[in-house]
């Protein structure tokens, strides 16, 4: 079982927690910017832009109060977020609990002009809510030394017939 990882000459599995998990979370979310935001309602996955990752690791989004997503969160706050930062690395899946707020200060903090596309009355649009996702357990896949090193290792590995990727993966607990 797991023959590819066993062929690696260096360790490629590392669970992260605490401040290291928060840093990894911020890096991966910043790289991806957008995720698939999934509620437990069957078939409910939609792309959402993360507006902020705060100092506690909470992820913040803006959403319309009459959206399907907000109704689904009200019925069951458990969510799952899927991120992909690039084609070969920077993957993250997070379980979390979503809460909805109308905190005007938070909405103002998360606001950018382009959001007027959806909230046509601007940052004071009465439909705007902020959605906070408090992450629980997650799993990440990334590389250790950046894309250039990972690419070189893969090329060398292909030439010499040895598994030499630069991958790292593990559980993430914020």
Q: Give residues with Cβ within 8 angstroms of 156, minimum separation 6.
A: 164
pLDDT of residue 55: 95
Tell me the mean pLDDT in the region 130-148.
Answer: 83
Alpha-carbon gap, residue 80 to 133, rounded angstroms? 9
Please report which confidence band the pLDDT of residue 1 belongs to, taking 50, 70 and 90 as the band edges: very low
Bridge partner residues of 139 (DSSP):
93, 171
Rounded-to-integer distance, Cα 157 and Cα 4, Å: 12
Whether residue 142 has pLDDT greater than 90: no
- pLDDT confidence of residue 144: 58
What does pTM read for this prediction?
0.85
**pLDDT digit string (tens) for 40-98?**
887 789 999 999 999 999 999 999 999 999 999 999 999 999 999 887 778 999 999 99
pLDDT tier, 167 (very low <50, low <70, confident <90, very high otherwise) = confident
Distances (CA, A) of 93 to 9, 21, 44, 87, 164: 26, 13, 16, 15, 25
- What pLDDT is attached to residue 15? 93
Rounded to an integer, what is the distance from CA 145 to the centroid of its chain? 20
Q: Is the dihedral of CA 111, 56, 100, 84 positive or negative?
A: positive
Give the Cα separation of 100 and 157 in Å (integer). Answer: 48
The pLDDT tens digits for 105-119 are 999 999 999 999 999
Nearest to residue 45, comparing CAs of 64, 27, 72, 26?
A: 72
Residue 153 has pLDDT above 90, yes or no: no
């Amino acid at each position: 079982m797991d023959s590819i990882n066993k062929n690696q000459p260096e360790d490629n599995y590392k669970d992260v927690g605490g401040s290291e998990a928060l840093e990894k979370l911020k890096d991966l979310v910043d790289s991806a910017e957008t995720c698939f935001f999934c509620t437990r309602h069957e078939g409910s996955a939609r792309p959402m832009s993360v507006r902020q990752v705060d100092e506690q690791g909470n992820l913040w989004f803006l959403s319309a109060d009459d959206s399907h997503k907000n109704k689904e969160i009200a019925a069951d706050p458990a969510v799952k977020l899927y991120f992909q930062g690039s084609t070969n690395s920077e993957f993250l899946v997070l379980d979390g609990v979503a809460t909805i707020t109308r905190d005007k200060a938070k909405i103002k903090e998360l606001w950018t002009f382009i959001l007027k596309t959806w909230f046509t009355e601007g940052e004071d649009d009465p439909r705007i809510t902020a959605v906070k996702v408090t992450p629980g357990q997650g799993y990440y896949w990334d590389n250790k030394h950046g894309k250039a090193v990972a690419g070189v290792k893969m090329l060398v590995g292909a030439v010499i017939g040895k598994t030499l990727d630069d991958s790292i993966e593990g559980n993430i607990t914020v």
